[in-house]
Amino acid sequence: MSEELKHLVGDLVEKNLGLVEDFPEPGVLFRDITPLIANGPAFKELVSTIAAHYRGKIDAVAGLESRGFILGAPLAAELGVGMLTIRKAGKLPGHVIGVDYALEYGTARMEIHPESVFPGSRVLVIDDVLATGGTASASVELLRRCGAEVTAVAVLLELAAFNGRSQLEGVRVESALLV
């Protein structure tokens, strides 16, 4: 994101962000975007501002389960482009391809319907938070396997302590707010 856009979107996110102490476990400060998406004018401004930045630069938006869907669908509609859903294992019916990624204790899997991706299309990956980078990295790999060009991974919040960017070498990462 340009510095101006980062400032506009970052301010909007920060002003409408909920902070929940000790969630999901003691000692964790959870940053909650539900107040932002519940505020109709703020959410509309968020989507419009992000859309203006990507207009003409992408052919599809890939939302990551689950809050990436909330951000991606209105963004895709505003831009008049397709919305791709990248989901956790076992959530999509029919033919899927998947990529496993490491968790602290074990692995998880992200999946997509490969026929929903047009080879050569420019895709923006969007989610609410970038932490370890596992879901984003797996999603980028999935899209590339389908023949897409990933133009960027865009997130509202980037949790710097987890260094998720390191999992996305060679991919432009755009975060509105670094915490």
Does the annotation count 109 as an active-site position?
A: no
Q: Which of 4, 21, 104, 169 is catalytic?
A: 104
What CA–CA distance (Å, rounded) separates 101 from 82? 26
Contact 143, 150 (CB under 8 A): yes
Tell me the backbone φ, ψ of residue 160, rounded to 5 degrees.
Answer: -60, -35
Contact 135, 100 (CB under 8 A): no
* Residue carrying the six token digits 């990624």: 101
What CA–CA distance (Å, rounded) separates 168 from 164? 7
Q: Which of 67, 87, 111, 158 is catalytic?
A: 67
Contact 88, 116 (CB under 8 A): no
Does the annotation count 14 as an active-site position?
A: no
Q: Is 140 left (phi over 0), alpha (psi -120 to 50) or beta?
A: alpha
Contact 160, 132 (CB under 8 A): no
Token pair of 121 as six digits:
């299309």
Active site residues: 67, 104
